[in-house]
Chains A and B, each alone.
Chain A
Amino acid sequence: MRIFLLLLCGLVCGLTLTACSDTRPTTAGPSAIDEQDGRVLIRDVTGKRWDVTEARNQYGILPGEFQHGLGPEAIPPILISHMLLPGEPGFPDPRADFLVIGVLLNGFTRAYPIQVLGWHEVATEKFGEAHVSVAF
């Protein structure tokens, strides 16, 4: 009888834990949404608060639908990029197979590997007099 009760207890506990794990949140929205004085602020995982009042009021963007909120330091941009030119050491084999964003602007021709942009999201660039951001 004692063994039966232990098994029953284990079964109930197991089911309870399973049920609990199934109810864990599956989204990664804002840590908090604060409304004060008509302003709406969402909080990211670092505790930084972002005012999204105009986003909601003018563009119908839902504060609760922002995702991840990793903080502005999580994905640092490339601030100073270095271009390899054909013939320079490290220039990729022309037969290599990887994805790039290619740009022709103001007489410059450049390629940005998707893998690198994936790490940084934004490369800060200048094509002649044009200041641009290459984003993926």
Chain B
Amino acid sequence: MYSREIDDQVLTLSASGWTYKNTFVLYDLETESLWYHLEGTDGLTGISGRYTGRHLPEFASTFTRWDEWIQAHPESGILSYP
């Protein structure tokens, strides 16, 4: 999970349709800069466009099973999808 705030601007990240080394390459709708999780780094790095060289920090998240998650966090919400 990544921050999408930079220079007092809020970005909208989306899949660019590209992958590189089996990892999605994201882009922001506002500037079409490309964002990529470079190996050995935390967060996303701007690799092309206006935000080249800039960084979007990563927030901690847990990859787990639902039953384990809700047992540990019974107050949790869950993303709904029709």
Contacts and interface: CB of A to CB of B under 8 A. Distances in A.
Given A98-B66, A131-B5, A44 B18 contact: yes
Q: How large is the interface on A (under 10, 10 to 19, 20 to 34, 35 or more residues)?
A: 35 or more
- The list of the 5 closest CB pairs from A to B, nearest first, reads A83-B77, A70-B17, A75-B15, A121-B15, A55-B47
A130 B3 contact: yes
B48 A55 contact: yes
Interface of A: 42, 44-46, 50-55, 58-59, 61, 65-79, 81-86, 90-92, 94-105, 108-113, 116, 119-124, 130-135
Contacts of B3: 130-132
Contact of A96 (B15, B21, B67): B67
Given A44-B18, A99-B64, A111-B78, A133 B13 contact: yes
Interface of B: 1-5, 10, 12-22, 24-27, 34, 36, 38, 45, 47-49, 52-53, 59-67, 69-71, 73-81
25 contacts: A42-B18, A45-B17, A51-B48, A52-B34, A61-B47, A75-B17, A78-B81, A83-B80, A86-B75, A100-B63, A100-B66, A103-B1, A103-B59, A105-B1, A109-B77, A111-B70, A112-B78, A113-B66, A116-B79, A119-B81, A121-B26, A122-B14, A124-B12, A133-B1, A134-B1
